[in-house]
Structure 1
Amino acid sequence: MTALSESWLSGINLKLIADQVGTPVFIYSEGQFRKNLARVRKAADDAGLGERVEFYIPFFPNSNPHHLAPLKELDGFGVLVQLPSEYRLLRAHGFEKFIVSPGHVSNEEISFWDSTRCPTFLASLNEVAHSLATQAPSISVRVDSLDSGKPGVKYGELEQLSALLQEYDRELDCVEVYCGSGNSLDDMVRTVEEMFEVFQKYFPTARGINFAGGHGFDYDAHAEADKHFDWSLYFRRLADAAQRMGIPEDVKFLFEPARDVLADTGALLMSVERSVITTPVSSIVVTDGCRMLMPSAQLRNRGHNTAFLDQDMREIVNEQGISAAVRGRTILRNDYLLPGEVHVPEGVDATSYMVILDTGAYCATQHMEFLNVPPAAEVLVSSDGSMDLITAAGDELDKWRNLLEEKQPVRS
């Protein structure tokens, strides 16, 4: 078994996509996205939290409204946005349920969010004071559980926040806390219990607690079950803590999963430009990709599973081969798509293709206009197997992501 054979991508007509759309191209699976959403919903239901839990998928890790379209029809799901432009784009595509988690923002932007009546998590006492003074329809805040430089009310300011709310005779609607990427499940549960204590002490009448994101995804794993966050255990422990600590049953719990529900819904297909180049310095496999298509891999030192395909899109599986770095198409010295090296099996040449798996989050959305490299096209595979172009490749004078207003069928 290979990483590719374990993936939904193994059943997709990649040759058709390459012939009709070209490479590089990001490919997304609606079916996998729906499967991931159903998995986290079932975990909440099984833990007895079904009626209390809402999920808001952050827009910025993928930023393609066509791919996120299932969220429009699923109960208990919505979208997290951080910018007015994101909100306007999603509204134009028919999305209706939002929460807002911006950084520090101006009074004008706070007033804009107040006009939408979307729950908005404010990040400072000053911002809260503005919303109170302008009689905002609801008040929600973000708490910085790490007491870090991240936007958020610090623990040392909670007394002031409580007093400010009392001054205006207002109650807090929802409080958000970020559990932090890379934290263990035990650490995340400790943050849950810590926030329950904050709730009881300062905001016992709040109607919701947002535990935000940070739910891990294992990019090194092959099997789907091994990649994902253990929501079942997490929800069981959260439910136990809520009961043990006396959190009222009408208090909602919100979550903002990103990588866990998005990462394995996408893959990047590239062409190999020539046989492996081996020099006294290094060995490289040259592709028509670029690190600017998925800069987080290098920035985060994040490896991804890869596969090589022949000209007919059959996987090339051969223990014989060479370790090589994955080179992009520019002259930039550091234009390598992945950290370290990958195994390039014998048989890979200029007629071959390369696939990078698990690129559904923080990849296409992070494309950087750099050295005149145009953005890749994007294709969505629907649950019924049909395929549509949802973002056109940039031409030589257009280096921005070209989101299509309407999907375009990919047909032979």
Structure 2
Amino acid sequence: MPHFSIQNRTLCAETQPLTTIADEFGTPTYVYSKAAITENYLSYANACRENGRTEHTALVCYSVKSNSNLAVLHLLSQLGSGFDIVSSGELLRVLAAGGDPEKVIFSGVGKTRDEMRLALSHGIACFNVESTSELHRLSAVAIEMQLTASISLRVNPNVDAKTHPYISTGLKENKFGVAIEDALMIYRTAASLPGIRVVGIDCHIGSQLLDDAPLLEALDKLIELIDVLAAEDIVIHHLDIGGGLGIDYEAEAPVTVGDYLTRLFRKIDTWRAEKYGGVPIKVLFEPGRSIVGNAGVLLTRVEYLKPGSEKNFAIVDAAMNDLMRPAMYQAWHGVQTVVQRDGEAVVWDIVGPVCESGDWLARARTLFLEEGDLLAIHSAGAYGMTMSSNYNTRGRAAEVMVDGNVSHLIRQRETPEQLFALEKILP
């Protein structure tokens, strides 16, 4: 994990010891590196520029669902990012963080009328429409508001992303998008509807992709469809290839952003030169995990060591409600002690205090541990805090952003009183 390193036998975020953060803010706490987020975002922005793109012909729309903290969104907005949202709540977060609504695209299969109204009132760039019913609803809402909704159709290309089935989104069996064989008919409908302006095409086949071959296969299918649409005078102004690039959780070797974008732009440029006289098409991306995943750790403390005949358990103060991915996906996260000490290592299961056997963060890790030790759960910057809950009336963790040798509290730890403040006892 870049920008997390051992200094004087203590794990640091940038140059700030995690022991100092634990002393000041307690545990469990999510800790993010500002430098890592910046570097990961710029890997996309710089690759676009190096392949001849400007802000008018390429836009990185950060996937808000991966980490929606206002400080993260503000940082990315300052860097020039757009945003991919899936709810009105995420739109309001982007606006509160200073994001530009004209760089916002709205994805998701279940947009409500109220969400459509809010997005239209703020003038977002585009709705990624995922069904015929949604298309007709959006048309009706836009007419009521005397506005026009710019839309892309999210096309399901039936490409196997070769990832976990819960995060595969581009097969016929998935709930997302419209079948590619139905797309022409739906685009014809969209072009005829009042209050609707067709501007793009969208595709997102899944998450944690280590190889760009499925993404380039999906791109080929989108290109074919755009040509068919052009023959019917339905002009596509932008192509949204989605996100999905993976990160290194357990010694994986994901394709680099630069290599992927170079191959993608080369394919697009060849196509546009052959078919459209070199007239460019704007390209959108929806990365999330690859920007924030390896930019954060979950800091937790060992409460008890519980050796057993079958397994040894290290019971920590973080739990499945703080980091859901292991329980939900059987996901692997690296674990290391914050302070490096010499001693006999033992195989431990790292588990939390929640009353579920599924409450585990890591299994069979060989570590030298003592009660009171601090642990860092790696690669927790994406889908950690955003998927957390209050199960067992546990307040969600604090969040801290490190900038060099300075730590900023960017979300306070929840208190029990805050958790039941909205509840009422019957009279």
Q: TM-score range with shorter-chain normalisation?
A: 0.7 to 0.9
**Runs of 5+ in structure 2 lacking a partner?**
159-171, 421-427
Secondary structure of 2:366's match? strand
Q: CA deviation at 1:198?
A: 1.0
Q: What secondary structure does 1:68 align onto?
A: helix
Conservation of the 8 A alpha-carbon contact between 1:293 and 1:375: yes
Partner of 2:28: 24
Question: In 2 relative to 1, CA 287–79 (structure 1 residues): closer, same or farther, beyond 3 Å?
Answer: same
The answer to whether residue 187 in structure 2 is matched with residue 180 in structure 1 is no
- What's the counterpart of residue 53 of structure 1? 58
Secondary structure (helix, strand or coil) at the match of 1:323 reads strand
Pick one of 271, 274, 290 that aligns with 1:260: 290
**Structure-1 residue corresponding to 2:217:** 190
Note the C-alpha offset of 1:287.
Answer: 1.0
Q: Which residue number corresponds to residue 365 of structure 1? A: 386
Q: Flag structure 1 segments of 5+ consecutive residues without an equivalent.
A: 401-412
Q: Per-residue deviation at 1:152?
A: 1.6
- Helix, strand or coil at the partner of 2:121: helix
CA 1:202 to 1:235, structure 2 compared with 1: closer, same or farther past 3 Å?
same
CA distance in 1, matches of 2:242, 2:342: 40
Alpha carbon RMSD of aligned pairs, Å?
2.5
Sort the Cα spacing of 1:112 and 1:317 in 2 relative to 1 into closer, same or farther, 3 A: same
Matches of 1:8 and 1:272, distance apart in 2: 18
How far apart, in 2, do the equivalents of 1:157 and 1:110 lie? 24
Amino acid at match of 1:114: L
1:315 corresponds to:
340
> Residue 101 of structure 1 aligns with which residue?
107
> Across the two proteins, how many residue pairs are aligned to each other?
385
Which amino acid counterpart does residue 63 of structure 1 have in structure 2? S
Range moving further from structure 2, 2-11 or 203-212: 2-11
| Aligned residue in 1 for 2:69 | 64
Which whole-Å CA distance do the structure 2 matches of 1:8 and 1:21 have between them? Answer: 15
Q: Give the match for residue 128 of structure 1.
A: 135
Task: Describe the SS at the equivalent of 2:265.
Answer: helix
Tell me which of 286, 292, 295 is aligned to 2:315.
286
2:118 maps to 1:112: yes
Question: Per-residue CA shift, 1:191-246, capped at 9, x if unaligned?
Answer: 1111111111125621101111111112013xxxx765412221221122113323
Aligned 1:6-405 pairs, distance under 5 A:
9=13, 11-51=15-55, 52-75=57-80, 77-96=81-100, 97-118=103-124, 119-132=126-139, 134=143, 136-146=148-158, 147-168=172-193, 172-183=198-209, 184-203=211-230, 205-221=235-251, 229-246=255-272, 249-274=279-304, 276-309=305-338, 314-316=339-341, 320-338=344-362, 340-345=363-368, 348-382=369-403, 384-399=404-419
Q: How far apart, CA to CA, are the structure 1 residues paired with 2:120 and 2:377?
A: 41
The answer to whether the 8 A contact 1:49-1:239 is kept is no
TM-score normalized with structure 2 length: 0.83
Q: TM-score, normalised by structure 1?
A: 0.86
Change (3 A) 1:13 1:5: closer
Match of 1:151, SS state, is coil
Residue 270 to residue 227, structure 1, CA distance change in 2 (3 Å): farther
Tell whether the 8 Å contact from 2:12 to 2:18 is kept in structure 1 after alignment. no
Runs of at least 4 residues off by over 6 Å: none
Residues 1:4 and 1:272: Cα distance change in structure 2 (over 3 Å): farther
Letter matched to residue 261 of structure 2 = F
Aligned partner of 1:407 in structure 2 is none
Could you tell me how far apart the structure 1 residues matched to 2:240 and 2:341 are? 45
Pair 1:162–1:68, CA change in 2 (3 A)? closer
Distance 1:232 1:15 in 2: 35
Distance 1:109 1:334, change over 3 A: closer
Alpha-carbon distance change, 249 to 305 in structure 1, aligned in 2, over 3 angstroms = farther
The answer to whether the 8 A contact 2:139-2:149 is kept is no
Q: Does structure 2 retain, via aligned residues, the 8 Å contact 1:30–1:380?
A: yes
Tell me how far apart the structure 1 counterparts of residues 333 and 14 of structure 2 sit (CA, whole Å). Answer: 16
CA deviations over 1:55-111 (Å, ceiling 9, x no partner): 111111111011222222223x11211111221233123222322112222344323
1:8, CA displacement in angstroms?
6.1
Inter-partner Cα distance in structure 2 for 1:182 and 1:357: 16
Structure 1 vs Structure 2: percent identity of aligned residues? 21
Q: 1:244 to 1:63 in 2, by over 3 A?
A: same
Using the TM superposition, give the Cα deviation of residue 115 of structure 1 relative to its aligned residue in structure 2, in angstroms: 2.3
